[in-house]
Structure 1
Amino acid sequence: MTDSLVQTDARVIAVDEVFPHAPETIWKTLVDPELIARWLRMTPVGFKPVVGNLFTYQTSPAGEWDGTIRCEVIEVQPHRRLAYSWRGGHAANTGYGSLLDTVVTLTLEPVEGGTRLRVVHSGFELPRNETAYRNMSGGWVGVVTRVGEIADEQA
């Protein structure tokens, strides 16, 4: 069977949580590079919340992939929304380190008593990105929890 006959299924990871903080507090937690390193457990290199800004994260390499996640900020609405591409992996890899071309969108919505944070990581192509999708599905839940803990410190 050729690759053109393999059906793919795009998947999305979505995590939604309400925190007892103003959008400005959550926003600071999401865009301060030192705080990002704490909640994501990867340090952003070159991150600025400016459309077109290119930055990277570094994770464990695998096979032909050097472990670099290449990102570009694609949307910024201060205190409301931040979106960036999340690209990594290598075409020669299967499983961990397979080619990945996704988008992370962080949306803040003021609600009574605080702010709703919705994290959507979209564009996982299955079966190619099955490992990344499975690992990141649980990973983003922990990330959002840590965002809340760090926001607590900032309030």
Structure 2
Amino acid sequence: MSLTLSLDFQYKTTIEKLWSALTDSSMLAKWVHNIHTGQAMENDFKPVVGHHFQFSTQPTEWWNGIIEGEVLIVDAPNKLSYTWESGEKHLITWTLQDLEDGMVNLHLEQTGISNEQALAGAKYGWGKWCGELEKVLEQ
């Protein structure tokens, strides 16, 4: 059985700035961090189809500190999709929609989740990260 996480976030920003925050490795490092330690995660992400990337941080007793992925879809500034592997291999798809009044909707879909505990963990993690993303967008 495979579960899917589906979340929406609204940000007061431009679609171009939000796209950069999702695709620029230095901006990603400002909001994607180790949830347990708060430490930034180094990454070599590039929005290029076929690019293999890695996010890394200090390992913990529960996790080796590495997330690996491959970029699958780059449709700037509307859609970004990649694999996300850390124990399990998931598919992450971001869809950006320009709303009116300077707001942008960011839709996250994460598929391939194996159980309810992993689903709850993913929901918690992305919720925290997308809160940090909001701070980055305000800078």
TM-score where L is the length of structure 1: 0.75
Q: Distance in 1 between matches of 2:9 and 2:3?
A: 20
| Residue 56 (structure 2) aligns with | 58
Larger of the two Rg values belongs to structure = 1
Q: Distance in 2 between matches of 1:135 and 1:125?
A: 12
The correspondence of residues 76-95 of structure 1 with structure 2, limited to 5 A, is 76-89=74-87
Could you say what secondary structure the match of 1:48 adopts?
A: coil
2:122 to 133, 136, 139: 136
TM-score where L is the length of structure 2: 0.83
The CA deviation at 1:135 is: 1.6
Q: Distance in 2 between matches of 1:78 and 1:44?
A: 23
Q: Which runs of 5+ in 1 are unaligned?
A: 1-8, 90-99
| Residue 10 (structure 2) aligns with | 18
The CA deviation at 1:131 is: 3.9
Q: Distance in 2 between matches of 1:84 and 1:30?
A: 12
Q: Which runs of 5+ in 2 are unaligned?
A: 34-39
| Residue 25 (structure 2) aligns with | 33
Identity among equivalent positions (%) equals 27
2:66 to 68, 77, 88: 68
Could you say what secondary structure the match of 1:84 adopts?
A: strand
Q: Kindly report the root-mean-square deviation, in angstroms, between the aligned alpha carbons of the 2 structures.
A: 1.9
The CA deviation at 1:111 is: 0.8
The CA deviation at 1:66 is: 3.8
The answer as to whether partners of 1:58 and 1:68 remain within 8 angstroms in 2 is yes
| Residue 102 (structure 1) aligns with | 90
The CA deviation at 1:31 is: 1.2
1:123 to 95, 104, 112: 112
The answer as to whether partners of 1:34 and 1:43 remain within 8 angstroms in 2 is no
Compared CA separation, residues 52 and 62, structure 1 to 2 (3 A):
farther
Could you say what secondary structure the match of 1:148 adopts?
A: helix
Q: How many residues align?
A: 131
The CA deviation at 1:73 is: 0.3
The answer as to whether partners of 2:44 and 2:55 remain within 8 angstroms in 1 is no
